[in-house]
Every structure is written in structure tokens, then in C-alpha cells.
Amino acid sequence: MIEMEEKKGLGWKLHIVVVALILVFAALIMITLIKWDRSGKNVVLEDVEEGEFDYESLDYVFIVDPETLAAHGPDDGINNILCIGDDLLIKNDYVGGDSLLTIMQRGIPDSQITNLSLVGTRIADTQNAYLNNNVTYWQAANLYDVVHALCTQDFSLQKEALDNDAIISKEYYDALTAVDLDKIDTVFIIYSSVDYINASNLYDPEDDYNTATFDGALRASIKTLQSAYPHIRIVVGSPYLHGVIQGTEVLPASTVNYGNGTLSEYVMRSYNVAMECCVSYEDNYFGLINEGNVNDYCNADTLLNPGIDLIGNHIVEYFKRKY
């Protein structure tokens, strides 16, 4: 009987101890919150200017299987890079400035860069290429059409475009047909915001490989390269921000929808496809030009010299990584 009473007394004491610990813990939390409230700064979001917050870069390096690289042959120490993109890679509308390509050629060590960028080209086709032979030579220099030609060595569509003075010049055709993908180490897919400006369809819910869509053409191009040349490192560069004139105001492209989404939606589509296909991603969007500094780096539909330098130097630093 006495033993049972002792156990009851012990149980009651344990309850008191537990309750006391809970009260002490709650008191400590209250004291901490009061001190933080009195001494800390209040952040009022309305008072924070656009671009004041940091953005996490989406840069990502995917390592190609070393056995695949070894099977292809010895490394000569030179990174042979093939750039496929639109003309903003090679042009600069402002006196005294470099192009992105020039910055890359000067800054990326131990590299040889072949350029297949061309004015008027983009990632998405105007119609689904190679579906029931439904192709047009006007899209012969878009991303998938170039990749398909290189991987199959069938340049008939590009030759037709050349013969009809459509999109492709003799200089570009000669450069395209001279590329030997066996000797290429890296394919860098780098387009500006041309698909966003032209309101290319983002995706097809019924066909992941519809080349008339932005992510379908990108996915089809990557898969075609991976299947034919598994040794090649593929790097997808994100579209980059620029200004859009509305009335008398220059607005950042991330806030304007031309019909199929803002620029940030195209960026995230390209990132998601790259991750899905297990290839590298070079981010020219987050953490570089933003809503707060767009007027320092951009003009309408293009980059100023400081903007080209900013993105060009970021690309160089990305390619300096060992991968």
C-alpha cells in the first residue's frame, strides 16, 4: 500500500516537472521574441526597391561519364566549343564594345570556338519539323534543324534555303557543313530572348518533342545530340533580360507578356529541360540583370555595352570551371 502511494507521489512530481519545463521554455521564447522586436529592424517590402534582393543562380555543371569520354579518345587539352544561337552572340550595336563571342574567345582559356549563330534564328520552329515531312527552308537555321543536319550529315534543307536566298548565307552554309562533331567537346546553346519576343509556343501538352514549341525543340535537339555523340558536353545558356519599350518607358522583359508568357517563364522552361536531359545549364538571368538595374544594362530589345560585358564575363567564368 505504501509502495503504491510512493509511485503515485512520484508520478505527480513528474507531471509538475514537465509542466514547469514547458513554462520555462515558453518564457524563454517570449523573452527572445521581445528582444528581437525591440532591437531588430523591420523590413517593409513596399520600401525595398526592385533588384535589392539577391537571386540564387541556376548555374549547374553536369559531369559527362568519364568512361564515355575515355572511349571517345584521348583529351588533347583544348576545349573545342560549338556555339549555336542567334545573332546577339556576335553583334554589338554600340561603338567601342565587344560582342559576347569576342569576350568568350578572349576569356575562356585553352579553347577553340566555332560559331554557328545567325540572325533571324531561334529555338522553336514555326511549325513542327519533320512531322510528315512538313518542313520549310525558312526555318533551316533554327536550333533543331541545325542539330538534325549536323547529326545526320543531311544538309539538303540548308542547301535549299541557300539556293532560295532564305535565311542562310554562303558563309554560314560553309561553316555548318565544315563542322565535325567528333572533334567537338562542348555544344553551347545560347539564344537571347528571341523566342520570347516572337511569342514562340512554350510547350505542347500532347507532344514533348514538338519542335514548333520552345521546350520541345530544345528537348529534341539535346536528345538528338546525346544519342549521336554521347561524348559531347551540352551546355544550355538561358535567355537573358533586356528592356521593352512601352510608351515612353523602358520596362524589363520579365514583366511583359507578348502572348505566351514573360521571359522568366522561358528561362524556367529551358532550365527544366536541361535538368530533365541531364545537361549543364549556364544562367544569364537570375542574379545579373534585373528589374532594378535594367536601364543600366539594356536598351529596347538589346543589351548596352555594360550588359554585354556583364553577361559575357559571366559566361567566361562559367566555362573556366573544370568539368
C-alpha cell at position 211: 519542335
What confidence score (pLDDT) does residue 31 get?
Answer: 58
Residue 64 corresponds to which amino acid?
V
Q: What is the mean pLDDT, run by run of 10 residues, along the chain of 323 residues? A: 49 60 66 48 43 70 90 89 91 76 94 93 77 67 96 95 89 96 97 90 94 96 97 94 69 81 93 97 87 78 85 94 67
Backbone angles phi, psi at 58, to 5 degrees: -95, 10
Cα separation, 294 vs 288, in Å, equals 10
> What ranges do the domains of the chain cover?
1-40, 58-319
Q: Find the helix packing angle between 214-228 and 263-276, rounded to 10°.
A: 30
Element (H, E) at 223: helix 214-228
What confidence score (pLDDT) does residue 70 get?
Answer: 86
Residue 238 CA, distance from chain mean position: 2
- Candidates 181, 304, 187, 182; CA nearest to 241 is 304
Q: Annotate 231-244 with three-state secondary structure.
A: CCEEEEECCCCCEE
Say which DSSP state 121 is in: -
What confidence score (pLDDT) does residue 25 get?
Answer: 67
Q: Give the CATH number of domain 58-319.
A: 3.40.50.1110
What confidence score (pLDDT) does residue 54 get?
Answer: 55
Q: Are 55 and 264 in contact (CB under 8 A)?
A: no
